[in-house]
Structure 1
Amino acid sequence: MAQRLAERRPVKKRHARISKQVSLPAESTKRKSAEVPVDEQARDDSFPIVGIGASAGGLEAFTQLLRELPSDVNVALVLIQHLDPTYKSMLTELLSRTTNLTVLEVTDGVRVKPRHVYVIPPNTAMTISERVLHLTSRIEVDGKHMPIDHFLQSLAKDQKSRAIGVILSGTSMDGIQGLRAIKDEGGITIAQDEQSAKYYDLPRSAVAAGCVDLVLRPQDIAQELVKLSRHPYVPYLETEGAENLLPQSDLEKIFGLLRKATKVDFEHSQEPVG
């Protein structure tokens, strides 16, 4: 069972989601589809990008996670696994045997797509910008190579509150700063639980640092990602006012439910200030 460990960020930084408790009339949904065409590119970019960091024991955990994901899951997974810099990686071939998702070793400049798994190559550092992956030579700071932190921090910067960071089994401290960056942007952070992790040092340290939202088995992490993929972030809410997407009557119902649940009147907060 998930343990919710860290206080979530303010509502303004969280994802734009409509609660399942708010039931709108069927005709309103149809009217919304007819009146609000969604730009195709915006729809393509609505899927979550999940950065997954692992070191010792992480491959086994990631394989368990992959096996639970359906082939039509609307997420992209980016695996940052600690690799020996002197050997060719066989990760892509190994992972391809356990999933129907497309598994690729990253090449510089590749654009992230849903239903794909992207694996970092050995002896590199990776970042993401506007959903495009970029590779550079291995980076060491004070003699330490921290590829998980390096990628997750760039994911937080690029995806803001849409970013999802996952830490699996491992012995290093690499990944904690990356999770913290995602947490600070209002994203979702997940760590593998102690019972299932072969090496719990990294997940334990992330939990102790207060930057983990959920602690789950790999199989349950997969189910959580499936849930997130089925409830998109509605990206066009960032550029369109809610009043332009929903009829006023539906907005009033939503505000009424929120007011009843929270004792806060949101109805007068929908207009931008300044």
Structure 2
Amino acid sequence: MTVSQKDFPVVCVGGSAGGLDAYTRLLHNLPDDMGAAIVIVNHLRVVATQLHEILPWHTKMPVELITEGLILRPNRVFIIPAQHDLHVLDGEFRLEPISKPRGWPNVITVFLRSMTEHWGGKLIAVIVSGYDGDGAEALCDIKDAGGITIAQKPETAEQPDMPNSAMASGCIDFVLSPEDIARQIVRISLEHSPDGVPAAAHGVNHP
């Protein structure tokens, strides 16, 4: 994959308990042609994810369960499979057995750090509802790489632990509801567009 093909924003949305509510509210307010890729990194150690079956009801973007070597593309939603760490290399997803099988997973932190090391495009890290503090340790790395960090407003989250941990990192740019997170992502995509007028400027989906 060439540098030009990588030149689109990637939005990593990390969550756990209560994340489904945040994911659906977020996707419902995102257009399907804004030119960004959405990667949902959800904590699941044992139970197989069903997000790739549920979320297509809330977006017109294709929703794909990540497999080894799947190419990262804009205007798609990608879902991490259970029991795996997720990395990116040369514009493709790489899967490895989960490195922390006991205790709270750190799959969000692992993926965010991989993105800072191996992705040349714009990065947006979003931490939504969930227990513990996965992802918080990598947020300063995202900012150091020129990315943008967003936490779900705790009072809008079913489980505020992860947003609170993200905010405690001192490296959060915005604290917003899922609906406002979607609006901020669209604004960032608009700023990133070469002509300044991406298709996302023309409206949002409400399937």
Normalising to structure 1: TM-score of the pair?
0.66
- Aligned pairs for 1:1-274 within 5 A: 42-85=3-46, 87-140=47-100, 143-159=103-119, 162-232=122-192
| Alpha-carbon contact 1:71-1:115 (below 8 Å) kept | yes
Q: Which amino acid aligns with 1:65?
A: L
Distance 1:142 1:113 in 2: 32
Q: Which runs of 4+ in 1 moved over 3 A?
A: 41-44, 141-144
Give per-residue Cα distances to partners, 1:135-159, cap 9 Å, x unaligned.
0111118855210100011111123
Q: Which amino acid aligns with 2:108?
A: I
Question: Percent same amino acid at aligned positions?
Answer: 37
Displacement of 1:47 in angstroms is 1.2
Distance 1:141 1:110 in 2: 24
Residue correspondences, number: 194
Distance 1:102 1:147 in 2: 23
Matched residue of 1:125: which SS?
Answer: strand
Matched residue of 2:141: which SS?
Answer: helix
Aligned to 1:265: none
| Structure possessing the higher radius of gyration over alpha carbons | 1
Displacement of 1:162 in angstroms is 2.1
Distance 1:46 1:160 in 2: 7
Aligned-CA RMSD value? 2.0
- For structure 2, the 5+ residue unaligned runs are 195-207
Distance 1:93 1:214 in 2: 30
Q: Which amino acid aligns with 1:131?
A: G
Residues 76 and 161 (structure 1 numbering): CA distance in 2 closer, same or farther, change over 3 Å? closer
Displacement of 1:206 in angstroms is 1.2
Q: Which amino acid aligns with 1:191?
A: A
Matched residue of 1:150: which SS?
Answer: helix
Distance 2:193 2:60 in 1: 25
Distance 2:90 2:193 in 1: 16
